[in-house]
Amino acid sequence: MARTRRKYSEEFKREAVQLMESSGKPVAEIARDLGMNDNNLYRWRRVYGSDVTVATNGSAASMSELAAEVKRLQRENEVLRQERDVLKKAMHIVSRSQP
């Protein structure tokens, strides 16, 4: 006997991912309540989960917040490199001019 493949609407998938992220229940329990395999929920989360939360140092932060923080730190790092280079050049000029 062949199994028929169930098709889920995009809206259902998005709501299932939202439920998975916000309910606090284990994924297996949510999948069981929805009558599906929990692998589907994990796959849908990769596709539809736009704001996946990640635990970092005891606090939860979204991927977009982490990306913004990385970008800010990269800019700050570039400014610090430029300041270091200016100080190196100034130190070289000052040390060269002293007898």
| pLDDT one-digit tens code per residue, 36-84 | 888 988 898 888 875 545 555 555 667 778 888 999 999 999 999 999 9
Read off the pTM. Answer: 0.47
Strands (E) in the chain, as ranges, are 53-56, 59-62
Question: How many residues appear in the chain?
Answer: 99
Non-local (6+) Cβ contacts of 17 within 8 A are 41, 44, 45, 48, 49
Give me the percent of the chain exceeding a pLDDT of 90: 24
Domain residue ranges of the chain, discontinuous segments joined by +: 1-50, 62-99
- Of the pLDDT bands very low, low, confident and very high (cuts 50, 70, 90), residue 90 is very high
Instruction: Kindly give the interhelix angle for 27-34 and 38-48, rounded to the nearest 10 degrees.
Output: 100
Architecture of the domain spanning 1-50: Orthogonal Bundle (1.10)
